[in-house]
Amino acid sequence: MEHLVNQMCTACYALRNIKYVVPIDTLRVIYFAHIHSIMSDDTIFWGSSSYAHKVFTLQKKIVRIITDTKARDSCREVFKNI
């Protein structure tokens, strides 16, 4: 489980560094190709884990980075749009 959290933290760092260089469509492709696929593959293992809250928090953080949403804003509509 820790490996999933570490991979998501690394992805979060990478997206934060490249978000001003590449367009939002490219960031979306990176999200679905790398982060979402990791989460989908490991859902069986982390779904009932104590790490589930951390995984969802990191997912929201990554989506906020991609969409330039503030930390206190709701992610509900952002998830629907992305």
- Give the pLDDT confidence score for residue 46 in this predicted structure: 57
- Give the pLDDT confidence score for residue 47 in this predicted structure: 59
Tokens representing residue 44 in the block: 């069986």
**Number of domains forming the structure of the chain:** 1
What are the per-10-residue average pLDDT scores of the chain (82 residues)?
79 90 90 81 64 82 86 81 78
The model carries a pTM of 0.75
Query: Residue 61 is which amino acid?
Result: K
Q: What Å distances lie between residue 29 and 12, 45, 58, 81, CA to CA? A: 14, 24, 17, 14
- Give the pLDDT confidence score for residue 44 in this predicted structure: 62
- Give the pLDDT confidence score for residue 18 in this predicted structure: 92
Q: 13 lies in which domain range?
A: 2-81
- Give the pLDDT confidence score for residue 45 in this predicted structure: 62
